[in-house]
Structure 1
Amino acid sequence: MAAEITILILSLIIQPLLGGSQGLPRFNNNTDQESLLAFKSEISRDPLGVLGTWNPSTSFCNWTGVTCNVTKQRVTGINLENHGLVGIIAPHIGNLSFLNYLNLQNNSFLRNLPQEMGQLFRLRTLILGSNQIQGSIPSSLSLCTRLTLLDLSINRLQGTIPKELGSLSELQDVSLAQNFLAGPIPSSFVNLSSLTNLILMSNDLHGQIPEGLGRLPFLINLQVGLNSISGEIPPSLFNSSSLIALAMAGNRLTGTLPPDMFTTLTSLTTLYLGGNLLSGRIPPSLGNASNLVRVDLSNNSFSGRIPLLWNLPNIQILSLQMNSLVNMGNMDFITSLANSTQLQVFSVAENQLTGKLPSSIGNLSRQLSLLVMNNNFFEGSLPGEVSNLINLTLIAFERNSLSGSIPPSIGSLPNLQNIYLHQNKFSGKIPESLGNLTYLSEVHLSNNFLEGTIPATLGDCQRLQSLDLSVNLLNGTIPRDIFGIPSFGMILNLSFNSLSGFVPAEVGNLNMIQAIDVENNQLSGDIPVTIGDCSSLLYLNMPRNSFQGPIPNSLAKLKGIEYIDLSSNKLTGVIPTSLETLKFLQVLNLSRNQLSGEVPKAGIFRNSTGVSLSGNLKLCGGVPDLGLPKCNSPEKHPDDSKVKIILIALFASVAFIIISMLVLWYVRKKGSGVHEDNDDANSPERHPRYRHHDLKLATRNFSSEYLIGEGSFGSVYKGIFRDGSLAAIKVFKMGQHGASKSFLAECEALRNIRHRNLVKIISVCSAGDFKALILPFMPNGNLEQLLHPRSENCVVEKALDINLRLKIAQDVASALAYLHHDCETPVVHCDLKPSNVLLDGEMLAHVGDFGLARILLKNSAKAHLSSSIGLKGSLGYMAPEYGMGAGASTRGDVYSFGILILEMFTRKRPTDNLFTGDMDLQKWVSMHLPDNLLDIVDHELLQNEWQPAHSDGIARVLNIGLMCARKSPEERPTMREVSAMIENVKANLPE
């Protein structure tokens, strides 16, 4: 108030003295017009022509977006929200001394905020969210003493939050989310006595939460998630009766929660504390927090029993998964939820819960959609009362010890889409009633003791995409009915059972199926010729049966096939030369059959490591590396004794080589604690071995100065070794729940893959609880830093033209196409986003971070697709079907790639504040194509060497992104198709 009075007095004294002076601002309506025109002059693009009315020929009070005081004709408000403006905020705006409302949200304003904004002493509302503003937050904003709302979210602001903002006593709403702000939350914020909403999520804030925040009398919404905030939660926050939402997920918070926490937080509706380091017991008072709607305490280290939850009438989401909770066999926590009639999501997966599931599970909310209880130690039967939960779309009880029959009453759940009951001890027959589930999409019942026949009624599930019944005791024939499902597009896995009879010719109707696995059954007859009509087939696994007759020529119609195993059968005749045309085939196993004749020499047959022909004693010819005898001409007959001698010598040589390799492997394994799981088969040099001590020296004992990145399960350091070589060293946080799985997943995914656009493992260091990957150092950072740099002086950003973006897109597409189509077993990345696209010194893109990767299909009977529980990926980039419980699939990666493409060319994150309600990035882009393309394209692409032909190229690549990001997985193209489309765009773009 004192500053306001001072300015008023000075203006009254100085204005009469200035008279007609042109050199200094005159604080009147002329000044307002001049300031608005100066503001307009700094706008380089106005795609909607909104500033066309800003013309001195008319009163500025009639200009679009301008509001005036009626009596004094002074500018009091500017609202230019969502107009696609590009430019900078002119310092002249500080001369609008009557301005109280300024909204420039969702444009492309650049550079720094002018210090002159501090002159707007009447300003009450400042909304600048969803722009590209850089630099630091001006401390001069603290002079805007009447400010009540400050929104600077989703920009590129960096530096610390000015402590001076703590003097704004009228400030009620503060949103600085999704920037690059660092440092602590200012302790001066405890003085914001009018504060109601403080939203600071998705920055790089660290330090502890100021103790006094909990004593602010009107604070209702505190969101500081997805930062690096550490320490304990201040006790005062647990005493704040005004708090409605408390979101602190994804930090490093430690300590315990007080027992009476929910007794004092009487207004709390939303509590997000997942992904921290919290421990101890879940407060018993949780059971009386009657206003709670959403609770997420997942991925912490909570222990002890789950409290009774009798009084949560409004709860909709309750996630306690990935902790160390126990129940000592007592299931009252389930019974106590009977009063929670609004519950939609309930998860206690990956804990240490034991005992038998009670029949009271059927008394849970009729609104329940997701029931997730996998990876525990439940035993006994699955209660039939689960059928009372009529809105269930997903049930996940896999990896427990449940036994008995699968209740037939499950077939009465009208909305059920996903059933995950694999890796239990279920016995009896598969219920015929599953055929009643018209929305059923995935059924995973593998690794149980199920017997009897496969119900023909499954053919009535016309939306079925994945059926895995492997490793059971099933017998009888394969019902023809299941081959009439048009949506069958993922996997049919019937391996390791006792099925008999023929494979029906109707198998050819499955023209969308990606994988068929019938290994280790008692199937016989010819391999159906119609299998060549399965045009989408990538994986065909039929070994250890009694198939006979010739290999059908129709296999050559499977143009995208990558894996064929027909070994250990009774196949006869010659190997069809048509198999040479399968250019994507990586593995062909025909061993242990009765094949004869000459082996083809082209295509897959040139690769002796990809072809297995052993045990077919009548084969001959082929490439020399196969070691087969030459085919004799009809006139000459070889001496049988010579053939035997050659075979004996050959087998002896092979045995000697194998034994030598095993001895060498054992000696190397015994002698070192460092394992090289990812040797480069194309390199003549062995990868270096690193000890824990070597890595400490290279990173100066893992100094923060060498820290270049951090994720949920690991930290990445720049390493400088004694020989001067550089590397990126990813150290896993083994104390973090899930880190061990992430380490193993990344090793497994990267162990056998080789591609120029994938990050390769140089070496692995595993010593006790210390696990680290040594990776190539990428001097140009990652795509996230290119698109959303923290500094306006970023050199790489200036080179981010259309050709470079297309090159990066092509690199990423090529990497994914390799993972999906060219690996021996398809790999799904599951977490594609800009920060996981790394750039080397030549700006070549490399896809990295395989901590969430899934091996889609493995070469063993124990292979299975990942369960759907747990979200696979990052918010905004994750395929929508994952949120509904679908398993990992290549189509999920395609969706993520589509979002990545749209972000690359619009520079809009999918989590932008613009995208609320039904509006998302895809809809926003499609609304502007093709006529208003320039309104959404990143403004930097419209500068420097822009040509009209570029518009066509960008429109085409955006349409590719939209195709990839379709809501339905079946409508998305494959990455092989996407890669070809992007290559075509590049070829037709001017240099």
Structure 2
Amino acid sequence: MRPFHFPCSRSSSKLPTDLLGFALLTVLCLASSTDSCIDQEKSVLLQFLAGLSGDGGLSASWRNGTNCCTWEGITCNADMRIADILLASKALEGQISPSLGSLTGLLQLNLSHNSLSGELPLEGLVSSSSIVVLDVSFNHFSGALQELFIQSTIWPLQVLNISSNLFTGKFPTTTCKVMNNLVALNASNNSFIGQIPSSLCINSPSFGVLDLSSNQFGGSIPSDIGNCSMLRVLKGGRNNFKGPLPDELFNASSLEHLSFPNNDLNGVLDDANIIKLSKLSILDLQQNIFSGNIPKSIGQLKRLKELHLGENYLYGELPSTLGNCTNLKILDLKINYLSGDLGKINFSSLSNLMIIDLLVNNFNGTIPESIYDCTNLIALRLSWNKFHGEFSHRMDRLRSLSFLSVGWNDFTNITKALYILKSFSNLKTLLLGGNFNHETLLADETMDGFENLQYLEISGSSLHGKISLWLSKLTKLKIPMLKSDKRTNLDVSVPNMRFYGIPFIKNRQYQYIHTTINIAKNGFTGAIPPEISQLKALDMLNLSFNSFSGEIPQAICNLTKLVMLDLSNNNLTGTIPLELNKLNFLSAFNVSNNDLEGAIPTGGQFDTFDNSSFTGNPKLCGGMLSHHCNSARALPSPTSSTDQFGDKVIFGITFGLFFAYGVLLDQMVLKRLRSLQGILIYQLYEQS
């Protein structure tokens, strides 16, 4: 609201009756005469507006003849000079006018999260005599950043954020040398090449934040970074850095966040170096080539909240001193060669833990009882280790669990496990496959619970018995979709999704979390219960490699969202229900190696399935088969073995579609092809 102004005309018929009133009126009149932005600065703003090809509706507010201090996104100082231009997320398109740098009172320029393009006019903005904060992140600026050779002893710029654009070339080192007051630089998510500029700390003694992640920087990490006595955040993940972390780096004792994931860094983590970073809160060195033991001095990092050392070549036992990191929330050690009994770690002192990821290691023994004191756990992944024994009733304390993956160990007593877990109301993903070998799954129809379960996997266990009807009670299955940033393809919708199985998705903008039931490769008998049709949200159903008999329930036709249906390698009889051709989303279908008969349905998706979907059923005819329905002769069964065909089915269909929510790393993903306990784990992660 504009302030009220007294009339200041000299012809006013009412004059003040005393000196005080006259003085007050004089002050108010002088104030009103300057209560408008400077015309020259207004012209600069209008020039900027004219250069936009899309103004996001700014022209409705930015009108000549009005006070530009009242325009949208503009604030002025006491001298009515423009101090802030805050136009983030305004749907702006076009190029930036370099004349903005001539606004001598401008302190903050924020044009982030728009669609601005072209080259960034560093000269005039970075070299401005007034700008302190410059944020042009999340736009479409491109090209190489120009080198600035302007001789100036003082540049006020303190924060420069050019992240998430399309910049290329080497980072301008000469420009860095003259940014004397720089405190924070974020150049992440671009395509810069070359080495890290090493002069930042020398010329900017207060430099505290450097984020160069998701670029194409290479070479070694410069030892000069150790001179950054005020550096708190150093991030360089997803680049091409090689070699060890320089010893000098650990002289930057103010570091709170050290992050270099997904590079080619190597060497060992030295006890004497780690202990110097006593203020460290986040240490992220995953997806590199580090080897050796986890240093015992890690326990002296009292402020440590996140430890990410996954996907390296670390070996040996976990140091018992880890229990001293009482603020730890995330422990990510997946895909290493770590071993030993976890019972040596006092997890009771780590009550703040929310995520534990030990996927693909060589840990053995039972799950330590102290881990059940971590009542804040939302995700626990112990798959592909050598754990054994039964689930403890104390596991009931982990009621916050949303994600539990313990597949491919040697756990026993599946009935006890299910009765413990059924009351976990927050549990959405449950991966139990490869355990409970040759046990009988009790067909207890009174079992309930699992009301929020979205993914259940108990394949590869050679279980026996009839499929339990409680599976059909999982009626709250959902199919949420993950949204990803279009520029980086990093998932941004679910906290800690990196843990759940998709660190990042290359060449895709979206990834589905599939609603799946996978009980393949067991020994289940009896008929497929028609009640399974109550799972309306189900989009993947894999019952292959069991001993199911009877006919394919026509009720499956009610699962209208099915994308994949695999009933292969069972003892099913009868015909293929014609109504299945109404499943419009069905893209993978397999009923091979059963005893089905009659004509293969036509129309709909059935016109897209090839011969391999139906082979091994000599009584079937029509469709893609050479055995026509009017022929009296039946084709013989294929000569290839069931196991070979089954492998083709599993690798060609299941693995290609199945694992989008937490399962990708659990079953298939390694950064390198690696042999573990005689099991070949295939890498699909780099291909996705």
TM-score over 0.5 for the pair: yes
Residue 89 of structure 1 and its aligned partner are, at CA, apart by 2.4
Change (3 A) 1:121 1:872: farther
Aligned residue runs from structure 1 range 2-41, under 5 A: 32-41=41-50
Change (3 A) 1:523 1:35: closer
- 1:391 to 2:400 alignment: yes
Change (3 A) 1:355 1:869: farther
Change (3 A) 1:866 1:193: closer
Deviation string, structure 1 residues 649-676 (Cα, Å, up to 9, x no partner): x99xx99xx89xx9xxxxxxxxxxxxxx
- 1:132 to 2:157 alignment: no
Change (3 A) 1:103 1:382: same
Detail structure 1 runs of 4+ shifted over 6 Å in the superposition.
Answer: 823-826, 864-867, 871-874
Aligned residue runs from structure 1 range 443-522, under 5 A: 443-448=456-461, 450-452=463-465, 454-463=467-476, 490-491=516-517, 493=519, 496-497=522-523, 499-500=525-526, 502-504=527-529, 506=531, 509=534, 513=538, 514-515=540-541, 517=543, 520-521=546-547
Whole-angstrom distance in 1 between the partners of 2:530 and 2:366: 44
User: What SS class does the counterpart of residue 126 from structure 1 fall into?
Assistant: strand
Whole-angstrom distance in 2 between the partners of 1:305 and 1:362: 21
User: What SS class does the counterpart of residue 222 from structure 1 fall into?
Assistant: strand
Whole-angstrom distance in 2 between the partners of 1:488 and 1:352: 29
Residue 543 of structure 1 and its aligned partner are, at CA, apart by 5.2
Q: Does the 8 Å CA contact 1:533/1:557 hold for their aligned counterparts? A: no
Whole-angstrom distance in 2 between the partners of 1:268 and 1:80: 35
- 1:369 to 2:378 alignment: yes
Deviation string, structure 1 residues 508-562 (Cα, Å, up to 9, x no partner): 55665543636552634x55555555545553526553746x6665556556665
Alignment-derived partner of residue 109 in structure 1: 116
- 1:350 to 2:360 alignment: yes
Deviation string, structure 1 residues 585-605 (Cα, Å, up to 9, x no partner): 43453756668xxx55xxx24
Residue 332 of structure 1 and its aligned partner are, at CA, apart by 3.1
Alignment-derived partner of residue 165 in structure 2: 155
Q: Does the 8 Å CA contact 1:65/1:79 hold for their aligned counterparts? A: yes
Change (3 A) 1:579 1:543: farther
Q: Does the 8 Å CA contact 1:559/1:584 hold for their aligned counterparts? A: no
Q: Does the 8 Å CA contact 2:462/2:523 hold for their aligned counterparts? A: no
User: What SS class does the counterpart of residue 134 from structure 1 fall into?
Assistant: strand
Whole-angstrom distance in 2 between the partners of 1:65 and 1:507: 56
Query: Which structure 1 residue ranges, 5 or more long, are not aligned?
Result: 1-27, 467-486, 614-618, 623-627, 630-646, 663-747, 753-822, 829-853, 858-863, 875-895, 897-991
Deviation string, structure 1 residues 839-864 (Cα, Å, up to 9, x no partner): xxxxxxxxxxxxxxx3347xxxxxx9
Residue 422 of structure 1 and its aligned partner are, at CA, apart by 1.3
Residue 339 of structure 1 and its aligned partner are, at CA, apart by 0.8
Change (3 A) 1:127 1:382: same
User: What SS class does the counterpart of residue 139 from structure 1 fall into?
Assistant: coil
Alignment-derived partner of residue 439 in structure 1: 452
Residue 184 of structure 1 and its aligned partner are, at CA, apart by 0.8
Residue 193 of structure 1 and its aligned partner are, at CA, apart by 0.7
Aligned residue runs from structure 1 range 893-912, under 5 A: none
Residue 66 of structure 1 and its aligned partner are, at CA, apart by 4.2
Residue 398 of structure 1 and its aligned partner are, at CA, apart by 1.1
- 1:120 to 2:145 alignment: no
Stretch moving more, 527-536 or 189-198: 527-536
Aligned residue runs from structure 1 range 222-301, under 5 A: 222-301=234-313
Deviation string, structure 1 residues 250-285 (Cα, Å, up to 9, x no partner): 122111111134432121111111111212211112
User: What SS class does the counterpart of residue 563 from structure 1 fall into?
Assistant: strand
Whole-angstrom distance in 1 between the partners of 2:567 and 2:228: 64
Q: Does the 8 Å CA contact 1:402/1:424 hold for their aligned counterparts? A: yes
Whole-angstrom distance in 2 between the partners of 1:826 and 1:214: 50
Stretch moving more, 156-165 or 182-191: 156-165
**TM-score, structure 1 as length reference:** 0.53
Whole-angstrom distance in 2 between the partners of 1:429 and 1:824: 24
Whole-angstrom distance in 1 between the partners of 2:440 and 2:396: 18
Deviation string, structure 1 residues 167-194 (Cα, Å, up to 9, x no partner): 3332111111112211111111231211
Query: Which structure 2 residue ranges, 5 or more long, are not aligned?
Result: 1-36, 480-512, 670-687
Whole-angstrom distance in 2 between the partners of 1:367 and 1:200: 33
Whole-angstrom distance in 2 between the partners of 1:535 and 1:289: 53
User: Which letter does structure 2 place at the counterpart of 1:437?
Assistant: F
Change (3 A) 1:208 1:46: same
Alignment-derived partner of residue 614 in structure 2: 589
Change (3 A) 1:522 1:287: same
Whole-angstrom distance in 2 between the partners of 1:867 and 1:31: 58
Alignment-derived partner of residue 70 in structure 1: 78
Q: How many residues are aligned here?
A: 583
Q: Does the 8 Å CA contact 2:209/2:233 hold for their aligned counterparts? A: yes
Deviation string, structure 1 residues 693-719 (Cα, Å, up to 9, x no partner): xxxxxxxxxxxxxxxxxxxxxxxxxxx
Change (3 A) 1:458 1:552: closer
**TM-score, structure 2 as length reference:** 0.73
The structure carrying a bigger helix percent of its residues is 1
Q: Does the 8 Å CA contact 2:462/2:521 hold for their aligned counterparts? A: no
Q: Does the 8 Å CA contact 1:31/1:95 hold for their aligned counterparts? A: no
Deviation string, structure 1 residues 381-424 (Cα, Å, up to 9, x no partner): 34333222221122211112333554443334332232222112
Change (3 A) 1:546 1:871: closer
Residue 112 of structure 1 and its aligned partner are, at CA, apart by 2.0
Q: Does the 8 Å CA contact 1:95/1:119 hold for their aligned counterparts? A: no
Q: Which of residues 186, 193, 212 in structure 2 aligns to 1:182?
A: 193
Alpha-carbon RMSD: 4.1
Change (3 A) 1:872 1:67: farther
User: What SS class does the counterpart of residue 665 from structure 2 fall into?
Assistant: coil
Residue 127 of structure 1 and its aligned partner are, at CA, apart by 2.1
User: What SS class does the counterpart of residue 356 from structure 2 fall into?
Assistant: strand
- 1:321 to 2:334 alignment: yes
Q: Which of residues 641, 662, 665 in structure 2 aligns to 1:870?
A: 665
Residue 869 of structure 1 and its aligned partner are, at CA, apart by 6.1
User: Which letter does structure 1 place at the counterpart of 2:452?
Assistant: Y
Q: Does the 8 Å CA contact 1:355/1:379 hold for their aligned counterparts? A: yes
Whole-angstrom distance in 2 between the partners of 1:52 and 1:141: 38
Q: Does the 8 Å CA contact 1:312/1:337 hold for their aligned counterparts? A: no
Whole-angstrom distance in 1 between the partners of 2:311 and 2:371: 24
Q: Does the 8 Å CA contact 1:379/1:401 hold for their aligned counterparts? A: yes
Whole-angstrom distance in 1 between the partners of 2:386 and 2:650: 34
- 1:203 to 2:215 alignment: yes
User: Which letter does structure 2 place at the counterpart of 1:121?
Assistant: S
Whole-angstrom distance in 2 between the partners of 1:138 and 1:317: 41
Deviation string, structure 1 residues 750-805 (Cα, Å, up to 9, x no partner): x99xxxxxxxxxxxxxxxxxxxxxxxxxxxxxxxxxxxxxxxxxxxxxxxxxxxxx
